[in-house]
Amino acid sequence: MWSQEVINMIIQGIGETLKMTVFSCLFGYLFGIPLGVILSTTDVNGLTPNKYVYKVLDFITNIVRSVPFLILLILLIPFTRALVGKSYGSTATIVPLTVAAIPFIGRMVESSLNEVDRGVIEAARSMGISNFKIITRVMLVETRVSLMTGITIAFGTILGYSAMAGTVGGGGLGDIAVRYGYYRYQTDIMIVTVVLLILLVQIFQTVGMRIAAKTDRRIK
């Protein structure tokens, strides 16, 4: 049962899961941060309120967030194929994972940025600082603890999604759990993969929260 082959497969699964999660997180934040910034600043109480921009982005974000991930994954198959050349495997899965992650991350970034004290922003404006610098030097810096917490949440969620993608040939630990545990009734392999998934989430959650707490200057 625990042949070298199985062990290699599981190690490869861990690698694939990490690859999908890390890259989706990265691309997710690449687009999610600007989305969150625009949502937060164009809000009625934001730095530069803009009803129309906010409403359009708010609407799109809600729509993508409302589509169940598995459906999104299938809907995006043509897009994924056009982008990476195929629609299965761990590299291809990064595409729908990123698409699902962007609105989710955007919302978290938005809510983090909305935590910034309006008074601090006003103080920055009174110093003659431009809106762009208020975003980059005040808002994103003052909320770094909240943003860091957001990253750990995003990581856990995307890892969960990546396991779901396994059911339709997405690769990674989820794929192994479904193929061996579900289709072949090899419960032990399924349990091992599930435990590994739990461990990964736990490790990232703990490390993330610790970094967040360590860098917070509001306590002490």
Partner 1 sequence: MGTIVEFKNVTKIFSSAYGTTKALDDVNLQINEGDIYGVIGMSGAGKSTLIRCINLLEKPTSGEVITDGDDLMTLSERQLREKRKHIGMIFQHFNLLMQKNVVDNVAFPLTAAGVPRKEARAKATELLEVVGLKEKVKSYPASLSGGQMQRVAIARALAQDPKILLCDEATSALDPETTASILNLLQKINREYNITIIIITHAMSVVRKVCSHVAILSDGKIVETGLVNEVFDNPKTEEGRLLISKAEESERREKEQKGV
Q: Residue 134 in contact with residue 47, Cβ under 8 Å?
A: yes
The answer for residues whose C-beta is within 8 angstroms of residue 207's C-beta and 6 or more apart is 152
In whole angstroms, how large is the CA radius of gyration of the chain? Answer: 20
214 interacts with partner 1 by CB under 8 A = no
Question: Total residues contacting partner 1 (rule CB under 8 A)?
Answer: 24
Distance CA 212, CA 215 (A): 5
Decide if residue 128 touches partner 1 (CB under 8 A): yes
* Site for partner 1 contains 220 (CB under 8 A): yes
122 binds partner 1 (CB under 8 A): yes
In the list 120, 191, 198, 203, the residue contacting partner 1 (rule: CB under 8 A) is 120
Copy the structure tokens of residue 217: 């200057």
Site string for partner 1, 144-173 (x = CB under 8 A): xx----------------------------
User: Using CA atoms, how far apart are residues 172 and 93, in angstroms rounded to an integer?
Assistant: 10
In the set 9, 72, 84, 129, which binds partner 1 (CB under 8 A)? 129
The answer for residues whose C-beta is within 8 angstroms of residue 125's C-beta and 6 or more apart is: 134
Name which of residues 99 to 118 contact partner 1 (CB under 8 A): 117
Out of 4, 5, 78, 119, the residue judged to bind partner 1 by CB under 8 A: 119
